[in-house]
Amino acid sequence: MKLVGRYLHRRLARLARWNEQRMGAATGIRWMLRYVFPDHWSFLLGEIALYSFVVLVVTGIFLTLYYIPSDSQVIYHGSYVLLQGEQMSEAYRSVLNLSFDVPAGLLFRQVHHWAADVFIASIVLHLCRVFFTGAYRKPRDLNYYIGLTMLMLAILEGFAGYSLVDDLLSGMGLAIAYSVALSIPLLGAQLGYLVWGGPFPGSSSFLPRLEIVHVLLIPAALATLITLHVASIMRQHHSQFPGPGRREQNVVGTPMWPAYALRSIGLLFAVAAVLFLVGGLIQINPIWQWGPYHTYLSENGAQPDWYIGWLIGALRLMPNFEPAIGNYTIIPNPLWGGVLFPLVVFGVLFAWPSLERRITHDQRRHDLLDRPRDRPTRTAIGAAFLSWVVIVFAVGSTDRLFFRLHISYTAQIHFWRVGIWVLPIMIFFVTRSACRSLQASGSHPLRNWQGTLIRHRPDGQLQPIADGPEETGAKSSEPPVGTLPGHETTGL
Amino acid sequence: MQERDALLDEQRTDELVELIESGGEGISRRALLTGDGGVAGAALVTAAATPLASLGPRLASVHKTPWQRGVRLVDDQGQPYPADQIQIGSFYTALPEGADPDSLGAPLLVVRLPASEIHLAPARVGWAPAGILVYSKICPHAGCAISLYRYPTYAPTSTATPAFTCPCHYSTFAPGEGGRLIFGPAGRSLPQLPLMIDGQGYLRAAGPFHEDVGPSWFNVHRAQS
């Protein structure tokens, strides 16, 4: 049975002719349908980010239909009994109404929130894949910069999103953001006044500004950059891991039509299904519990969304260093953790491709990916740098460890003020020697492990079969990967 | 399997460079330099005006505060605080009577400590009548409201001293020592407000803050140390 029968064939031919007479695009479409995708699971991380973005746009449009960006004070009379009679901003009331009184409103808000967390998580994992396999090298360095820009925008977008709600938690986050803006030497106070329309908590124009940033400016920038990102991939074709038949000059994999297109549409539906399932079943950001924001109130043990955790951690870990002349502060403390730390992290990431080129003198084009073990120094630097950021991120939740496990908060901070420098150095050396020994032994500890076969004995006991898994033809569909000739295995 | 494009075509690249260069023919280098240089210079001077302005005489306080001599302390329902209601071991949030409670200069922390716990600088000895001490509630680090108060009630099991702690980044201040920072990232002490008790026994400010309140900015004024 053919997928395209005779009736469909006539319709399709008419459609193609119709399009051809107007656009003359047959060659281009043909090129698209023959486009080859290399097969590797890690290539799906970027697609998950893309499809989370689709879910974010769809659910976000729904939310904008109900959200009111207004700070005028109103009295709540909605269905949530515990807040009835409470004075709050119209913005917060509109989100409460969305959550309790709009059909499917809570579902859409929770899916939106979960999708944002998944969106940024998949971008970060995608970035790790790109870094550790050397996919950022020429000619993809340009696309790597686009990706990093999208990550920065996505973090800003997420922060703007949960700040719109104007509950106690989002107000506290904005107070910190305002303080970070104020900490910039010379211009900080002017910048803070400019963005907030006056001293914190700002004028009535602040929430509408934040809404435009969240629903128009950043999403439009992201959509543009996504288009550039994908167009640039298609122009250069995907990178691929080395293997039999795979050269720098070719791409081996699955063509767009019929295989990859259907598979990718399947992934879109799967991502949407999982996000709606999670959004429907697992509560996230129960804004009614925090209550309305006032500058004189705060929530104890508050935690931001995960992608802000590294900034909270940096602000908490920083000692109280604040240079001053006489009784006048020159550099307020939040500058270190809130401005310089993210600048260093993104600065290193942006500088890396050209830095590596300068060190290795490798100006060639690379379309074959590296296996992390084959570049021990790069992998070790990446692991150390990643651990440096992850430690700062983890420090953001030291108060939770104190509440749960009663480990002294001050002791944890004092420990990590040293550990933040010691541990990454240790990780550097451990990773580098692990890479080198894997390289020397050529073993694949994470591949082809099929578990242990067990037998259910008549007496009810479970007995492992000593021989281990039987060798079958379907051991691995992946071709063996080796180091190609001329493929340096030392240095970066 | 698919072959990749070579991407770099030397001839096409050279042609493109030539095309762009040919558009610039007829513009003399001097005219370009004078024209562009003039525009860039003017733009730079304009852009520099803002930071230069901030280098001049110190700006008026970024966070204005309504507190001055005689302003009464009220709770979030607008009720005044009688001094004899302030208990040792609790902390209270106070707002200025008849002023915007949401400005960063407004909210206060009120505590009472036994005389043995109070070690104020000589200039502040009169600021704490009846052992009642009043501080800005806004953390000078990142602007959160300080809402944790540690008061060791059982002396034999706790050696800790009384402390205010901000739940955002855990800056910790000593209420008995003029708001001195004892832990955390804040770069300056918690601003203290001089207090008095009026004839009817209510709490009132005895004067304005002697330092800037709210999160710090460039050139912020901290307390005399």
Nearest to A295 among B104, B186, B223 (CB): B104
Query: Can you give the pLDDT at residue B202?
Result: 96
Please provide the average confidence, as pLDDT, over all residues in chain B.
88
Q: Is A439 on the interface with B (CB under 8 A)?
A: no
Query: Can you give the pLDDT at residue B51?
Result: 65
**Into which CATH architecture does domain B73-205 fall?**
3-layer Sandwich (2.102)
Question: Do B222 and A328 make contact, defined as CB atoms within 8 angstroms?
Answer: yes
Q: Which backbone phi and psi does A371 adopt, to 5 degrees?
A: -85, 140
Question: Do A179 and B143 make contact, defined as CB atoms within 8 angstroms?
Answer: yes
pLDDT 10s digits, B51-98: 666 554 455 578 889 999 999 999 999 999 999 999 999 999 999 999
pLDDT 10s digits, A405-418: 888 899 999 999 99
Query: Can you give the pLDDT at residue A370?
Result: 94
Cα A256 to Cα A24, A33, A367, B100, B125, distances in angstroms: 20, 5, 19, 62, 80
**Higher pLDDT among residues B159 and A266, named by residue:** A266
Nearest to A298 among B144, B181, B188 (CB): B144
Query: Can you give the pLDDT at residue A3?
Result: 63
Calculate mean pLDDT across residues A322-350: 94
Q: Please say whether the beta carbons of B193 and B136 come within 8 A.
A: yes
- Sort out which chain B residues have CB atoms less than 8 A from A330's CB and list them: 218-219
Query: Can you give the pLDDT at residue B157?
Result: 61
Calculate mean pLDDT across residues B177-189: 94
pLDDT 10s digits, A18-40: 999 998 889 999 999 999 999 89
- Sort out which chain B residues have CB atoms less than 8 A from A251's CB and list them: 1-4
Report the chain B residue with the minimal C-alpha distance to residue A315.
B169
User: Where do you find CATH 2.102.10.10 in chain B?
Assistant: 73-205
Query: Can you give the pLDDT at residue A326?
Result: 86
Confidence band, pLDDT 50/70/90 cuts, at residue A443: confident
Confidence band, pLDDT 50/70/90 cuts, at residue B155: low
Nearest to B107 among A193, A295, A319 (CB): A295
B122 DSSP 8-state letter: G
Question: Do B102 and A189 make contact, defined as CB atoms within 8 angstroms?
Answer: no
Interface mutation target, options B104, B146, B165, B218, chain A, most CBs of A under 10 Å: B218
Maximum distance among all Cα pairs of chain B, rounded to whole angstroms: 93
Please provide the average confidence, as pLDDT, over all residues in chain A.
90
Report the chain A residue with the minimal C-alpha distance to residue B63.
A199
Calculate mean pLDDT across residues A129-140: 96
Nearest to B143 among A176, A193, A327 (CB): A176
**Higher pLDDT among residues B73 and A442, named by residue:** B73
Confidence band, pLDDT 50/70/90 cuts, at residue B221: confident
The alpha carbon of residue A403 is apart from the nearest alpha carbon of chain B, in Å, by 13
- Sort out which chain A residues have CB atoms less than 8 A from B161's CB and list them: none
B window 8-47, beta carbon within 8 A of A: none
Class of domain A37-242+250-294: mainly alpha
User: In chain A, where are the structural domains located?
Assistant: 37-242+250-294
The alpha carbon of residue B174 is apart from the nearest alpha carbon of chain A, in Å, by 15
Q: Do the interacting molecules here have an ipTM over 0.90?
A: no
pLDDT 10s digits, A227-255: 999 999 999 999 999 888 888 889 999 99
Calculate mean pLDDT across residues A275-294: 96
Question: Do B216 and A176 make contact, defined as CB atoms within 8 angstroms?
Answer: no
